[in-house]
Chain A
Amino acid sequence: MPFANHTTSVPVTVDDDKCIAEKGCRVCIDVCPLDVLAINPASGKAHMKYDECWYCMPCEVDCPTGAVKVEIPYLLR
């Protein structure tokens, strides 16, 4: 069974201008209980890689530069 490419919107966004991942920061990626954030290879910044979010917010609250914004996933909104 071959796979389809399934696109969905993600509830968590990172402001690339504020994110300091290039200085070694990984705070949001470290704290996420569902491990859904990662470094985006294209930009070198943090991003939401998997749409599997509990909208719990440690990523946003713990980010040292205020780069992360958590929205309620669309299906719940």
Chain B
Amino acid sequence: MSAFDSEMKTEIVETDILVIGGGTGGPMAAIKAKEKNPALKVVLMEKANVKRSGAVSMGMDGLNNAVIPGYATPEQYVKEITVANDGIVHQKAVMAYATGSYPMIQYLDSIGVKFEKDGSGEYNVRKVHHMGTYVLPMPEGHHVKKALYRQLRKHQVLVTNRYMATRLLTGTDGRVAGAIGVNTRTGEFLVIRAKAVVLACGAAGRLGLPASGYLFGTYENPANCGDGYAMAYHAGAGLANLECYQINPLIKDYNGPACAYVTGPFGGYTANNKGERFIECDYWSGQMMKEFYGELLSGNGPVFLNMTHLAEETISEIETILHSNERPSRGRFHEKRGTNYREKMVEMHISEIGFCSGHSASGVWVDENARTTVPGLYAAGDMASVPHNYMLGAFVNGGIAGEDAADYCASTDLPAYDAADVAREQARVMAPTRRDDGLTPFEMEYKARRLVNDYLQPPKVTAKYKIGQARLAEVRDDLSALCVKDPHELMRALELQSILDCADMAAAASLYRTESRWGLYHWRVDHPATDNENWFCHTLLYKDEMGRMAHKKRAVDPYVVEIDEDEMGAYHQLRTPAIAAE
């Protein structure tokens, strides 16, 4: 069609390291690779603009999981995360994060990211988790992206904004060989050959449909639609525990954090319609979400965030934090609904499903060096399998990926790739531009995500999952009619294809694990019990040699921090005693 040249423009660039995703973990990977070896060429490819992209686009309210000497030890943290994940964790990777946590906070501090300190200049850490103390507020958290951007410039990282990576290139010897990107404003192609690639494309946050019906009214930044998961899958990497969905307790309709992490330390709490507490701990775990879900469906719903009992100066402080940093439109939302924290509890709801390790445990498998199962391919942040790692985890693991990739590059050459792979990918990408009429990305995305809600949202029922798979396959067949009229719509059309890939992966991974685990996240109604004998293991989903979706189990590595039997149950006793007895 007219907006596209019939002759495709393709530029080929060579680099040592390619980082895909310039949100949180990606920039840190690029910076740390350059710090390690300034002679390396590092390219950062970003779908949006690194100045304001990703989950921390506007900043962040605080660190959810800071491991700071005097408040928590790495061992304690590893224990906490192991217990919160029902034991299925690669502890070495969690330990790598925990030991890297404090040095990263000091580094961020040194580049101008501000954290809350007390009168004597010590970090002011607060308690939200069940056992330890890990939450460090950032009342001036809106400077995060600016600080990162200064470092990207200082280290001369080459940034390509408005290029969406569509597929990884695999070398003829099985190593990663680079990636293909398409410009979201011109439709031009960029082929980047690289020795190592770091994926940091964020969560798969556009999988389910928000209750409002607005496609972009998601908790995650909607640019994070699962491209990273889809690219890793098509490159043959293993994806871990995808059935451990992300589901969050959010402000109803606004779909932003409520946010118990910020208000909890000030005395705010989650309550039912009688204003009563029903959970002891607001830390987001699958068990907590199951209690939340149960309360919503019982006569005690809806669920609220209660702050009405707090003193005026406490509420103004909360307002200053919540309405100025990460989701500043929250104040406007409350205003339109006439919600004032002083007078009215804030209605909450559970979100649609997604994949995310930042908040849950569904991600591309990585070890303690951020390496995936494909040589030369790294992953970090929300899309990598280190559980519950949040913003600081994206920074620490991004840094680990960048440094390890820098070492790896020193001893390797640029892999050869098959030019036919590029031609095939260009044909796939451009197909919707070659049609004059058909189906729009908007309607196909709406339908796919509505089906995800109808059939894949937990509780997971096998019969529903089978129907969901069949209906999603019909939508996939309709891709042959997908039609776009400009490069912007082309981006949405490609995103839709990532969403479909993720929906298929969510269904297949959930059916594979025939037990229930992680509270609401993997509640299989037909297999209600936790079966440690057969399923105390990771699941890996991957694309086999025939191009089919396949699964295997991966044993949990021996723990580096031992956990007692009785400690293991800590996150199962979340209900407040009074209500549990009812």
Which chain B residues border A54 with CB–CB below 8 Å?
216-218, 221-222
Q: A3-B440, A35-B162, A61-B58 are in contact. Are A70 and B329 (CB under 8 A)?
A: yes
Q: Using a CB-CB cutoff of 8 Å, which residues 50-77 of chain A contact chain B?
A: 50, 52-58, 61-62, 70-73, 75-77
Interface-facing stretch out of A14-22, A26-34, A39-47: A26-34
| A-B residue pair count with CB separations less than 8 angstroms | 87
For the residues of B in contact with A, the DSSP-based class is loop
Docked Cα-Cα span, A2 to B329, in Å, equals 37
Smallest Cβ-Cβ distance to B145: which chain A residue: A58
Question: Cβ of B440: which chain A residues have Cβ within 8 Å of it?
Answer: 3
- Kindly list chain B residues whose C-beta atoms are within 8 Å of the C-beta of A62: 52
Chain A interface, >50% SS class: loop
From A33, A61, A75, give the contact of B221 (CB < 8 A): A33
Contact B223 A33 (CB under 8 A): yes
Interface residues of B in 194-215 (CB under 8 A from A): 212-215
Contact among A2, A56, A77 with B57 in the assembled complex (CB-CB below 8 Å)? A56
A30 contacts which chain B residues (CB < 8 A)?
49, 51
Report the interface size for chain B: residues with CB under 8 A from the other chain. Answer: 39
Q: Are B438 and A1 in contact (CB-based, < 8 A)?
A: yes
* Contact of A31 with B221 in the complex, beta carbons under 8 Å: no
B481 within 8 A of A: yes
- Tell me which of B51, B255, B328, B491 contacts A76 (CB under 8 A): B255
Asked if B333 contacts A33 (CB within 8 A), the reply is no
Q: Which residue among B215, B222, B329 has the maximum number of chain A CB atoms within 10 Å of its CB?
A: B329
> Which chain B residues border A53 with CB–CB below 8 Å?
216
Residue contacts A-B, CB under 8 angstroms, 23 given:
A1-B437, A3-B440, A30-B49, A30-B51, A31-B49, A34-B48, A35-B162, A50-B488, A54-B217, A56-B57, A56-B221, A56-B329, A57-B58, A58-B52, A58-B58, A70-B332, A72-B332, A72-B333, A72-B336, A73-B212, A73-B216, A76-B255, A77-B336
Residues of B at the A interface (CB closer than 8 Å) are 48-49, 51-54, 57-58, 162, 184-185, 212-218, 221-223, 253-255, 327-329, 332-333, 336-337, 437-440, 481, 488, 491-492
